[in-house]
Amino acid sequence: MTPMNALLRYQAALLARSQRWLPPFILYAVFLAVGVQSGQPVLDSLGYAAAALLPVAAWLVRICVTNEPPAARSCVSAAVGPGRAHLAALLVALAAAAALGTVATVVVTLISNPAGADLQTRVPRLPAGAAGLLAALACALLGTAVGALTSWPLLRSTGRAVPTMLLAALLSVVVTGSPAHAAVSGLVTGSRSGTVPLPLLPLAAAALLTAAATAVACALTSRRSP
């Protein structure tokens, strides 16, 4: 087994067994239960599901990064390098958020009304679901970036990190120019016009931003105190 695979399995097992993933998963389910009802226009509901995934992804990153006691992290860092150890934690958080977003997208696509916002124009389920999935991935990626930039090694004190993370997650959804905002508003305007958008550009932009944020966080792991 290559060390990176082994690291990902280790981090995934840490997350799964710690059960700290439960609160964000439950919060996301509550978000969806409140905001999504069956029979609503599919693209609107998918936009809502994608937007709500962003803070959940950031929270999952925070869990994965703080899950391992510092002494245990040092053992792993000595074996594979601190940057790679941190990368594995971020990737596992991203994978968990992406999996959650995929499940939510499938469920929302199936229970929603395959129609535009006027409830007249037909919006086919399959392309709508695909667009929703891309938007969800863009939000999972951007949420991972927010989480990576607002937890160790960049911000160490929980008192500052958590409010910063929540504010950054909120801004990433609502500020024009953010890839997550572009992906979500693309779905909403698509619902009004009755056309299915393909948010490939926002996804690519989110991937780039997340890669940069991940690189910064991983590079700093060996420079900050634990």
List of residues contacting other proteins (CB under 8 A): 1, 3, 5-7, 9-10, 13-14, 17-19, 68-72, 74-82, 222-223, 225
- In the complex with other proteins, which residue's Cβ is closer, 2 or 176? 2
Transcribe the chain into DSSP letters. --HHHHHHHHHHHHHHHH-TTHHHHHHHHHHHHHH--TTSBHHHHHHHHHHHHHHHHHHHHHHHHHSS-HHHHHHHHHHH-HHHHHHHHHHHHHHHHHHHHHHHHHHHHHHSBSB-TTS-SB--HHHHHHHHHHHHHHHHHHHHHHHHHTSTTT---HHHHHHHHHHHHHHHHHSTT-HHHHHHHHHHHHHHHT-----HHHHHHHHHHHHHHHHHHHHHTTTS--
- The rounded distance, in Å, linking the Cα atoms of 39 and 115 is 9
- In the complex with other proteins, which residue's Cβ is closer, 19 or 176? 19
- In the complex with other proteins, which residue's Cβ is closer, 22 or 71? 71
- In the complex with other proteins, which residue's Cβ is closer, 13 or 30? 13
Report angle CA 65, 71, 74 to the nearest 5 degrees: 75
In the complex, least distance from residue 224 CB atom to other proteins, rounded to whole angstroms: 8
In the complex, least distance from residue 220 CB atom to other proteins, rounded to whole angstroms: 9
- In the complex with other proteins, which residue's Cβ is closer, 74 or 164? 74
In the complex, least distance from residue 18 CB atom to other proteins, rounded to whole angstroms: 5
- In the complex with other proteins, which residue's Cβ is closer, 45 or 67? 67
In the complex, least distance from residue 93 CB atom to other proteins, rounded to whole angstroms: 16
